[in-house]
Amino acid sequence: MSFSATILTLYPDMFPGPLGMSLSGDALARGVWSLEARNIRDHGLGRHRTVDDTPAGGGPGMVLRCDVLGAAIDDAVPADDPRPKLLMSPRGKPLTQAYVRDLAAGPGVVIVCGRFEGVDERVIEARGLQEVSIGDYVLSGGEMAAMIVLDACVRLLPGVMGKEASGTEESFESNRLEYPHYTRPREWEGRPIPDVLLSGNHAMIERWRREESERITRERRPDLLKTGRD
């Protein structure tokens, strides 16, 4: 069974967008994963298919209505659907490579994309939505955040990446940032490729890469060295 993604959004035409190209696009065409984007507005109210209203208690902006979003979720996702239901949200659990790995190992995801000020709290509770953040900044909508979650998951699905190893040696997989890469030409603008990489001595190459990995992590992300995985 392939990884299946259902997106609930006010802008279904944004999908597959960039996910229809390159690695994820090829995998989509080959049926390694599937994507369905549903329009929340199909469940909007009245002649104008209204989906939002003013916040209770006052304040700026609009809030996605719980009745509209609840109906959209219920229509798209059967009660016994085993997939986790995510809500893209700046106050959610931070997206990490460990979390991505867990999602990619499962049957797929349902992703709700917020807009405006966000969504009515009651639908988050009632439908058991897991709030997920892609970082400490605020986007105007959850669609691009959802694409990031899917891009990160899809590249880990079996048969998507050329070499199995390229998924496990990368940044974050062992709480280290990746070592530097080089390719031809051997010298460029007076800058040579480090000798050790051309030595053919695989033990030395591995040691150099491990040391570079640790140096770069210490310099740029010392927090990764302190915390455990995730």
Binding stretches for ligand SAH (CB under 6 A): 88-91, 113-115, 117-118, 133-135, 137-142, 145
Smallest gap, in angstroms, from Cβ of residue 112 to ligand SAH?
A: 8
If you ran DSSP here, which 8-state letter would residue 119 be given?
A: B
Return the number of the residue (59 or 162) whose C-beta is nearest ligand SAH.
Answer: 59
Smallest gap, in angstroms, from Cβ of residue 64 to ligand SAH?
A: 8
Asked if 224 contacts 176 with a C-beta cutoff of 8 angstroms, the reply is yes
Smallest gap, in angstroms, from Cβ of residue 72 to ligand SAH?
A: 14
Tokens 């591995």 sit at which residue?
A: 206
Smallest gap, in angstroms, from Cβ of residue 135 to ligand SAH?
A: 5
Whole-angstrom CA distances from 18 to 97, 121, 148, 155 are 20, 30, 10, 13
Return the number of the residue (65 or 115) whose C-beta is nearest ligand SAH.
Answer: 115
Residue 57: how many CB atoms within 10 A of its CB?
5
Smallest gap, in angstroms, from Cβ of residue 114 to ligand SAH?
A: 2
Q: Which residues are annotated as a binding site for S-adenosyl-L-methionine?
A: 114, 134-139
Return the number of the residue (101 or 115) whose C-beta is nearest ligand SAH.
Answer: 115
Return the number of the residue (8 or 157) whose C-beta is nearest ligand SAH.
Answer: 8
Return the number of the residue (130 or 174) whose C-beta is nearest ligand SAH.
Answer: 130
Residue 5's Cβ-side half-sphere holds a number of Cα atoms within 13 Å equal to 30
21's CB contacts (< 8 A; 6+ apart) are: none
19's CB contacts (< 8 A; 6+ apart) are: 25, 28, 35, 147, 150, 151, 154
Q: Which residues are annotated as a binding site?
A: 114, 134-139
